[in-house]
Structure 1
């Protein structure tokens, strides 16, 4: 996968993109991430990328020319790709795990990080293919959302995680929050690991994990149950939990 990030603050990215899973994925050639300062495409000696809004009002608006030029320069480098061009803003679709899974199937993503009062509407209408938000709040720019989405997407690429099962059992990947985890010691200050996890009985362990994932979802995110794909086992586990088992 190739990822390009258009930003006015490229210095925000190296620490996040160069560390841990993201850094290793790039070292292994599983993803290429380029951070581009679109001020270099401003077209004037002052590097002007914003202007006052037509009709008046507070703040400044990002001009369309530098952003279009920056994207077009990227497309000239890789004319064979058809990238998803993602504008990051509070008005976009709320980012969810299923969107991460969808984007992980793409070969090229371009992120547009806004600042000030936002983008000229023509960027939204005639350049972006997607608009995404990471939540119902406003940040100073699109850089942090871009980092969040890139992290969520890249970890789903084949070979990025050491164990492919990890991504398949994450919270939200199955529609449920993830089940509790335990490791050694089996008894820590009198708090013991559930016996079923020490039994070696894989079917019972799988059932326990599914039940505890359901229980945790019921307690913490009952709204997720509305979108859950129920099977016979889940319904049975649900009834057991309601009975206090």
Structure 2
């Protein structure tokens, strides 16, 4: 039979996580159904074994925008899509934390300098700073990710 995941984009679905996105990217593909307004007949959901998936605690006009979010999250993990696959390894949720802040040129912007550690050239200290900043941001903005059994 068809081994592809059968997904229904639905606000009552299980929240989409980076772990589920990775599973989908590694799998044989997916069939995505998008409901409109009141959704899809429960008999279709049951008969087709649809997995209901939510992209957040809000309501959209239909499942299509949610499907685009899902597609973007999955496609970027496929081999050859990102120019440098390593560039995605430190992004938010990949290690259970939000991503650290980023800085670029100029070295000072409206009186705000780049943190000294980032221009020090000390790769170990830079990695420690990035980890500490990621932990701080996660604690402030998404403490649920730091729970004993966080969604991933």
Instruction: Tell me: CA distance 1:174–1:228, structure 2 relative to 1, closer, same or farther (3 Å).
Output: farther
The answer on whether the counterparts of 1:113 and 1:142 sit within 8 Å (CA) in structure 2 is yes
Larger radius of gyration: 1
Instruction: Tell me: CA distance 1:169–1:227, structure 2 relative to 1, closer, same or farther (3 Å).
Output: farther
1:113 to 29, 34, 40: 34
In the alignment, what sits opposite 1:233?
Answer: none
1:88 to 9, 12, 16: 9
In the alignment, what sits opposite 2:80?
Answer: 159
Deviation of 1:188 after TM superposition, in Å, equals: 2.1
The answer on whether the counterparts of 1:196 and 1:204 sit within 8 Å (CA) in structure 2 is yes
Instruction: Tell me: CA distance 1:228–1:181, structure 2 relative to 1, closer, same or farther (3 Å).
Output: farther
Q: Map 1:1-245 to 2 at 5 A.
A: 81-227=2-148
In the alignment, what sits opposite 1:71?
Answer: none
Q: Distance in 2 between matches of 1:227 and 1:145?
A: 28
**TM-score, structure 1 as length reference:** 0.58
1:88-133: per-residue Cα shift (whole Å, max 9, x none)? 1122101121111111111221100111322121211121442101
Q: Distance in 2 between matches of 1:128 and 1:114?
A: 15
Task: Provide the aligned C-alpha RMSD in A.
Answer: 1.7
Deviation of 1:184 after TM superposition, in Å, equals: 1.1
The answer on whether the counterparts of 1:176 and 1:228 sit within 8 Å (CA) in structure 2 is no
Q: Distance in 2 between matches of 1:148 and 1:203?
A: 35
Q: Which runs of 5+ in 1 are unaligned?
A: 1-78, 230-245
Q: Which runs of 5+ in 2 are unaligned?
A: none
1:168-214: per-residue Cα shift (whole Å, max 9, x none)? 11111111110010011112232111111111111111111001101
Q: Distance in 2 between matches of 1:130 and 1:105?
A: 17
Which of structures 1 and 2 has the larger relative contact order (alpha carbons within 8 angstroms, sep 6+)?
2
The runs of at least 4 consecutive aligned structure 1 residues that moved more than 6 Å come to none
